[in-house]
Amino acid sequence: MSRLILFNKPYDMLSQFTDRGTDTARATLSDCIAVPGVYPAGRLDRDSEGLLLLTDDGRLQSRIADPKYKTAKTYLAQVEGDVTDAALATLRRGVDLKDGLTRPADVERIDDPGFWPRNPPIRVRKAIPDCWISLTIREGRNRQVRRMTAAVGHPTLRLVRWRIGDWTLDGLQPGEWREVQVG
């Protein structure tokens, strides 16, 4: 039976077990997960938080991470400004980025999800409001959600991946993980 770990990756942690490349130590998965033989199914940028799946099954890893399988990934994004209906419509159609048109996204405004405090806190500007959106994509380009929201005039201030396929972050605090059964 395959192992599958749901992990709530904290802000400022690398999505890998070792840190190669700098002289200063950065947080890695090995700081929280001491399970041999599991590897991340996909990535989550250092400045993003939330659900990261790890598995010991190469086929499952591919099914989760490979864009050809179109696994839905839902992000909750705190964005700068009050998102307009026009911006939401553009995200739903697909956004033209430097590397081409994105697939259409499912997107809606949401209430503040009441997440844990982020350390360091996001940049807040008194003269510019912010709001939260839920955005579901079925591809995984580099920094895609951040580039999409910026392209429609609402840069991302905080990004939390909430769902991958049927798995969610529900009940996990930053740095916590749990193993789930998969067939």
For the chain, what is the HEC assignment? CCEEEEEEECCCECCCCCCCCCCCCCECHHHCCCCCCCEECCCCCCCCEEEEEEECCHHHHHHHHCHHHCCCEEEEEEEECCCCHHHHHHHHHCCEECCEECCCCEEEEECCCCCCCCCCCCCCCCCCCEEEEEEEECCCCCCHHHHHHHHCCCCEEEEEEEEECCEECCCCCCCCEEEEECC
Say whether both 18 and 98 belong to one domain.
no
Judge if 87 and 113 occupy the same domain: yes
Query: Which pLDDT band, with edges at 50, 70 and 90, does 124 fall under?
Result: confident
Does 45 participate in catalysis according to the annotation?
yes
Q: Catalytic residue, from 12, 31, 45, 56: name it.
A: 45
| 54 & 135 share domain | no
pLDDT in the model for residue 68: 84
Mean pLDDT computed over 131-141:
94
Q: Are residues 83 and 153 part of one domain?
A: yes
Provide the mean pLDDT of the chain. 93
In this prediction, residue 110 has a pLDDT band, given cuts at 50, 70 and 90, of very high
Residues 31 and 63 in one domain: yes
pLDDT in tens, 15-70: 999 887 666 788 999 999 999 999 999 899 999 999 999 999 999 999 988 888 88
- Asked if residue 91 and residue 62 are part of one domain, the reply reads no
Same domain, 44 and 94: no
Q: Provide the residue range defining the domain that includes 96.
A: 72-164
CATH assignment at residue 133: 3.30.70.1560
pTM for the whole structure: 0.94
Domain shared by 96 and 52, yes or no: no
> pLDDT digit string (tens) for 71-103?
999 999 999 999 999 999 999 999 999 999 999
